[in-house]
Amino acid sequence: MVVEVLDEPATVSAIADEADVAWETADSELDRMMAENLLSEYEDDGRTKYGPNHVRQFLDQVLDLIEENGRDELERQLVAHQERLETLQEEYDAESVDEYRERLTEADRTAAEMREIRNIASTWEALETEIRLTKHALHFYEDVSRLSSAGDDRNSLTA
């Protein structure tokens, strides 16, 4: 409940209000999440704010990809994402999402055209993120698999 409202840094009071919980509940949940390294703490005008730990989120996403997919599947996903990205580049005649987004400011764009540009740009950015995450998962695949199986061997010896 508290974690679901944390899109950007906020104070305990703001988080409690957004999550519709007591201040003490929010504070306790934030303390637990800080102990688990799920949050980062920020100082803003002398007030403490809590926000997502983006490094932890990134690493968790990479680990999830590795745990949920074999190397072959990750490679297939990477190729598929890259093909979709190249299709967008060709279809919309732009090399980058930033170049494509510049079209928002062209004269005489209707609201519908602007909305379409934003939607396509969001898809483009999501594909770039998936490509980045999948490349990292492939890069670390062997090490994570080896370390995971070594942990399993140790666990079976102590059980």
In the numeric block, the tokens 């979709």 are attached to 84
Would you say residue 40 lies in a domain?
Answer: yes
Indicate if 75 and 45 belong to the same structural domain.
no
Would you say residue 45 lies in a domain?
Answer: yes
Q: What is the pLDDT of residue 103?
A: 95
Would you say residue 153 lies in a domain?
Answer: no
Q: What is the pLDDT of residue 1?
A: 55
Q: What is the pLDDT of residue 125?
A: 97
Indicate if 39 and 83 belong to the same structural domain.
no
Would you say residue 102 lies in a domain?
Answer: yes
Indicate if 113 and 132 belong to the same structural domain.
yes
Indicate if 133 and 74 belong to the same structural domain.
yes
Q: What is the pLDDT of residue 142?
A: 94
The packing angle between helices 111-158 and 71-91, to 10°, is: 170
Q: For residue 40, what is the domain's CATH number?
A: 1.10.10
Indicate if 87 and 103 belong to the same structural domain.
yes
Would you say residue 156 lies in a domain?
Answer: no
Indicate if 103 and 142 belong to the same structural domain.
yes
Indicate if 99 and 28 belong to the same structural domain.
no
pLDDT of 155 > 70? The answer is: no
Contact 54, 9 (CB under 8 A): no
E strand or H helix at 110:
none
Q: Which residues contact 7 (CB under 8 A, 6 or more apart)?
A: 52
Indicate if 44 and 84 belong to the same structural domain.
no
Q: Tell me the three state secondary structure of residue 20.
A: coil
Number of C-beta neighbours around residue 117 at 10 A: 19
Q: What is the pLDDT of residue 77?
A: 98
Q: What is the pLDDT of residue 2?
A: 64
pLDDT bin (cut points 50, 70, 90) of residue 156 is very low
> Which structural domain, as residue segments, surrounds residue 8?
3-52
In the numeric block, the tokens 């999440």 are attached to 33
Would you say residue 158 lies in a domain?
Answer: no
Number of C-beta neighbours around residue 87 at 10 A: 11
Would you say residue 155 lies in a domain?
Answer: no
CB contact burial 39-58 (16+ within 10 A = b; e otherwise): beeeeeeeeebbebbeeeee
Would you say residue 159 lies in a domain?
Answer: no
* CA dihedral sign of residues 91, 97, 101, 106: negative
pLDDT of 82 > 50? The answer is: yes
Indicate if 80 and 48 belong to the same structural domain.
no
pLDDT single digits (tens) 88-133: 999 999 999 999 999 999 999 999 999 999 999 999 999 999 999 9
Question: What is the C-alpha to C-alpha distance for residues 5 and 138, in angstroms, rounded to an integer?
Answer: 32
Q: What is the pLDDT of residue 88?
A: 96
DSSP 138-157: HHHHHHHHHHHHHHHHHHHH
pLDDT single digits (tens) 20-79: 899 999 899 999 989 988 888 889 889 999 988 889 989 999 999 999 999 999 999 999
Indicate if 41 and 94 belong to the same structural domain.
no
Number of domain units in the chain: 2
Indicate if 66 and 48 belong to the same structural domain.
no
In the numeric block, the tokens 């062997």 are attached to 142
Q: What's the whole-model pTM score? A: 0.74
